[in-house]
Amino acid sequence: MTHPGPSAWSELQQALTAAVGQGVGVVFSGVDGDPDRLHPLERAAMGRAIVRRQREYAAGREAARMAMRLIGWPEAPVPSAPDRSPQWPPGLIGSISHTRDACLVLVAPCARFLGIGVDIDMHEPVEPHLWPLICTPAEQAALATWPENERGLAVTRLFSAKEAVFKWQFPLHRRMLDFQHVHIHLAQSNSTFVAHIDQGSDPRVHPHVCTQGKILCRGEHVVSWVITPQDPTEAGLQRQEKPGLNCLTP
Ligand SMILES: CC(C)(COP(=O)(O)OP(=O)(O)OC[C@H]1O[C@@H](n2cnc3c(N)ncnc32)[C@H](O)[C@@H]1OP(=O)(O)O)[C@@H](O)C(=O)NCCC(=O)NCCS
């Protein structure tokens, strides 16, 4: 396996920093963090985790602190809640993702941003037998219109977008979602998507939660993210019906 070096991270970081816009701290790194540098509050989440997971977790925390510095905030610990979600220091929101060889963190101030979710994956095609697990029937119908040899990668992008949407909505709605709850409409450009979250039986979730996200495919990686500003018009969105409940439509 080849591991992209720091120059590949800095290229990804520059591309993503430009794509997410001002005010968001973006840090890419490898996954080989130093567990000895974890804050005691963070170490608690490690329990009996294997060394590889400890290194991955530590890489995420180091990247989170670097992202805080990038947006002019003091470094602070980011412990994990029992549900595994990261606990950002007061005044900040953020999101963490890792893949085989890379870690990615986005951090932003709550004063400007309401929600944030990110995912990084290897840009490798998903096996066809997994498509029905990841894709809703409507997504599968849309997939059937793609050239056959591009469908596996399209599912990878759908998967990545759904993971980003999950992380975006969780701190806002505290809802566990499965792949069938989230419908993604990928734009033909492959660089944007619209996500609809199905309410299911959860009365706390507004029936038409809808947001938009972005996708960046670079080299071996695909990155998806959803960022909603406090003022949705900044992102060309309109808040509908229930202010504060993140019902945002393009
Ligand atoms: C969190 C999850 C989406 C991704 O975890 P993963 O496969 O390990 O992949 P990633 O590396 O991209 O993300 C892990 C990071 O997500 C963050 N995370 C975990 N649970 C989270 C939650 N409930 N809300 C927000 N972020 C969360 C953590 O920071 C974690 O890294 P850390 O443990 O090192 O801090 C997944 O494991 C999960 O909980 N799935 C259940 C829901 C789901 O996937 N539904 C299908 C999509 S809608």
At which residue do the structure tokens 């968001």 appear? 24
CA of 241 to the centre of ligand 1 (A): 29
Whether residue 95 is contained in a domain is answered as yes
In which domain, by residue range, is 104 found? 6-111
69 and 172 belong to one structural domain = no
pLDDT tens string 166-205: 999 999 888 888 999 999 999 878 899 999 988 666 665 5
77 and 129 belong to one structural domain = no
Q: Band of the pLDDT at 156, cuts 50, 70, 90?
A: very high
Strand positions, DSSP E, 123-205: 182-186, 192-197
Q: Is 61 in the pocket of ligand 1 (CB under 6 A)?
A: no
CA of 77 to the centre of ligand 1 (A): 18
Q: Is 80 in the pocket of ligand 1 (CB under 6 A)?
A: yes
Whether residue 58 is contained in a domain is answered as yes
pLDDT tens string 221-237: 999 999 999 876 665 54
54 and 138 belong to one structural domain = no
Of the candidates 13, 25, 21, which has an alpha carbon nearest to the alpha carbon of residue 72? 25
The number of the ligand 1 atom at minimal distance from the alpha carbon of 118 is 12
CATH number of the domain encompassing residue 106: 3.90.470.20
CA of 167 to the centre of ligand 1 (A): 7
105 and 135 belong to one structural domain = no
Using alpha carbons, list the distances in angstroms from residue 100 to 4, 120, 180: 11, 10, 25
Query: In this model, does residue 34 exceed pLDDT 80?
Result: yes
List residues bridging with 118 in a β-sheet.
225
